[in-house]
A and B are shown apart, each in its own frame.
Chain A
Amino acid sequence: MVTTIVFLVSAYLILTCYLGFRAYRGSINTAEDYFVAGRTVTWFHLGLTFFATWFSTLAFLGVSGFNFKRGVSWYYAQGTFWMLAPLAAWLLGRKLWERGRECGYITPGDLLADSYDSNLIKLLVGIMGMMALIPYILVQLVGIGKVLEASTNGVISYPVAVIVTAVATAFYTVIGGIRAIIWTDVIQGILFLGVTLLTVFIAVDAAGGLAIGLATAQQVRPEAFTFDVSNIGVPLTTIIIWTPGLVLLPHLWQRNYMAKSKESFAKGLVVLSAMSFVMLIATMLIGATAISFISDLQDSDKLVPVIFRDYAPTFLPLMVLATFAAGMSTIDSQLLSASSVIIRDVFGLQKIEPKKEKLLGRVVVICLIILLANLALLPESQGAIFTLASKGTAVAFLLLVPLLGALNQAPKQVGLVTLISGLSVFLLLELKVISWSLPFGFGSPVAAFLVQALLCIYFSYRKLAKQ
């Protein structure tokens, strides 16, 4: 078993490094090619890279566990934002594609700073981008390290797993850039979708069939199949902040720049929708039917490994490989995105020669992965990382109002005021400096959004009144 896992993971790492080298051979020596593939991505690759990047280790392991633990409340939130996300990408993402093509944008800061004519906005967006990206990369590294150590009974120790993952991901990201990432995303996406479907068959079989399994689960834990309306704000907050995530998270924002044509962009969203639906039903069935045959699980993240361990141990190496692939497919994208955000948004170096920017991008990726791998090896930082990672999407959500303003020619003050006010309100509420919350369980990102929206409306009307 352990030998099989080591063999599969090693073979997979060699494959990703080969793809990185192939991408390097076919690349053009510009930052636009390195970070956004020269805006030449076709529909199939676009759909798969959106899918593989959007669905991380969290989706593969965590979501099934959330369905098991929280039942229909989670299913409602997850299903709604997964299926509405392509709509958000259609409404906003195509505007990003058009503007990106027209003006050569590479990062979120490029578009917002250009629209509002403000370098301060660029810096703020860059800092917020890093807040959204860095903790999430760390969570993936920590997650992969733990899974590999546990599944190999320590043959691959946690530090070795983290270092090997970091080195391999950095290698193909550094030499191949976004093209290598997209090629590996295609394989990674198909792999973990396939293993997820395999998990469904195992779980449904263990439950004694679909109808019997769901009926038994409803008897065992009926509260998992009812919805608490008094707390409707909790799933609605998840839906509100995650639905535009396909556009607002920096590494996904940049994918909106990459389509070869309008046709590619539109078809890519259809591919993403179809694959999202399959994952949605699969993870729901895994979690829901598992209620009928698993009773004492403290950590819901362990649901899928437990199902394989107890009901299909022969396929456990595949599950480990899929987890590994899911994590790498998110780490590589976020790593490259963080590199571009640091260079262009934080340090404002977008006007340097394209070849130099590409070289600098590579150097930053290497520096970042060394830093992050070291952080992942510190056990005392892991608790805070998980908390921060969950807030990353909320921070990215604060870019929605400034983006809407930018796309609708809002006055310059809107960009700066909404960014600062949104981030301030969010941090004041999250850090409990102000003890206040919205009714019905709505979270602090929604409060921040409401403040941003009001300020945007105020300044927009002031501009109209002056005219």
Chain B
Amino acid sequence: MKEDSLIAKNFQQRDALWVAAYMLVFAVSLVPFFISSLNGPDSTLLGFPALTLWLTCCFFTFLLLTFIGYHFVFRSWTDRVGV
């Protein structure tokens, strides 16, 4: 019983941390919209249109979070749920 509740607690913490990570990246993706040097008609980053490159990096981070989620969150669910 005690072991079950520990697993449940860890599982919920991992879930929450993972969702928080997604929300953080979501919030970060909005930041350049409010910076005129990045949200201008001539704005570039590393030679590419600034917002396009920034958003692409954010979306790639979302993808990485999915892979991380599989290893650290999904698996804890599979262990927890059982057959």
* Interface residues of A, Cβ cutoff 8 Å to B: 72, 75-76, 79-80, 82-84, 86-87, 90-91, 94, 98, 211, 214-215, 217-218, 222-223, 225-227, 229, 232, 262-263, 266-267, 269-270, 273-274, 277, 280-281, 284, 288
* Contact among A76, A91, A226 for B55, CB-based, below 8 A: A76
- Interchain CB contact under 8 A, A72 and B78: no
Residues of chain B within 8 A (CB-CB) of A270 are 66-67, 70
A-B contact count (CB 8 A): 103
- Interchain CB contact under 8 A, A226 and B29: no
A-B contact pairs, 6 of them (CB 8 A): A84-B26, A86-B66, A90-B73, A222-B41, A223-B41, A269-B70
Query: Besides the contacts A214-B48, A215-B47, what 17 more A-B pairs have beta carbons closer than 8 Å?
Result: A72-B49, A79-B55, A82-B59, A83-B63, A84-B26, A87-B66, A218-B44, A223-B41, A225-B52, A226-B41, A227-B51, A270-B66, A270-B67, A270-B70, A273-B62, A277-B60, A277-B62
- Interchain CB contact under 8 A, A229 and B33: yes
CB nearest to B47 among chain A residues: A211
Q: Smallest Cβ distance from A76 to chain B, in angstroms?
A: 6
Q: Is the interface of A mostly helix, strand, loop or mixed?
A: helix
* Contact among B52, B67, B70 for A288, CB-based, below 8 A: B52
Instruction: Give residues 30-83 of B contacting A (CB, 8 Å).
Output: 33-34, 39-44, 47-52, 55-56, 58-60, 62-63, 66-67, 69-70, 73-75, 77-78, 81
User: Contacts A76-B29, A232-B33; is A225 near B41 (CB within 8 Å)?
Assistant: yes
Residue among A90, A215, A266 with the highest chain B CB neighbour number at 10 A? A90
CB nearest to A67 among chain B residues: B52
- Interchain CB contact under 8 A, B63 and A277: yes
Residues of chain A within 8 A (CB-CB) of B55 are 72, 75-76, 79
- Interchain CB contact under 8 A, B22 and A277: no
* Contact among B49, B58, B60, B73 for A214, CB-based, below 8 A: B49
Q: Smallest Cβ distance from B35 to chain A, in angstroms?
A: 11
- Interchain CB contact under 8 A, A267 and B33: no
- Interchain CB contact under 8 A, B70 and A75: no
Residues of chain B within 8 A (CB-CB) of A232 are 33
Residues of chain A within 8 A (CB-CB) of B51 are 72, 76, 225-227
- Interchain CB contact under 8 A, A80 and B48: no
**Does B17 reach chain A (CB closer than 8 Å)?**
no
User: Contacts A266-B78, A280-B59; is A226 near B48 (CB within 8 Å)?
Assistant: no
- Interchain CB contact under 8 A, A90 and B29: no
Q: Is the interface of B mostly helix, strand, loop or mixed?
A: helix
Q: Smallest Cβ distance from A293 to chain B, in angstroms?
A: 16
Residue among B19, B42, B59, B73 with the highest chain A CB neighbour number at 10 A? B59
Residues of chain A within 8 A (CB-CB) of B29 are 76, 80
Query: CA A303 – CA B2 in complex, angstroms?
Result: 60
Q: Smallest Cβ distance from B61 to chain A, in angstroms?
A: 9
- Interchain CB contact under 8 A, A75 and B63: no
User: Contacts A80-B29, A84-B26; is A263 near B78 (CB within 8 Å)?
Assistant: yes
Q: Smallest Cβ distance from B78 to chain A, in angstroms?
A: 5
Residues of chain B within 8 A (CB-CB) of A284 are 52, 56
Q: Smallest Cβ distance from B42 to chain A, in angstroms?
A: 7
Residues of chain A within 8 A (CB-CB) of B42 are 218, 222
User: Contacts A83-B59, A83-B62; is A229 near B34 (CB within 8 Å)?
Assistant: yes
CB nearest to B22 among chain A residues: A87
Q: Smallest Cβ distance from B82 to chain A, in angstroms?
A: 9
- Interchain CB contact under 8 A, B66 and A273: yes
Residues of chain B within 8 A (CB-CB) of A86 are 66
User: Contacts A226-B40, A273-B66; is A91 near B19 (CB within 8 Å)?
Assistant: yes
Residues of chain A within 8 A (CB-CB) of B67 are 270, 273
Q: Smallest Cβ distance from B54 to chain A, in angstroms?
A: 9
Q: Smallest Cβ distance from B21 to chain A, in angstroms?
A: 10
- Interchain CB contact under 8 A, B70 and A277: no
- Interchain CB contact under 8 A, A277 and B33: no
Query: CA A91 – CA B15 in complex, angstroms?
Result: 9
- Interchain CB contact under 8 A, B39 and A273: no
Query: CA A80 – CA B58 in complex, angstroms?
Result: 9
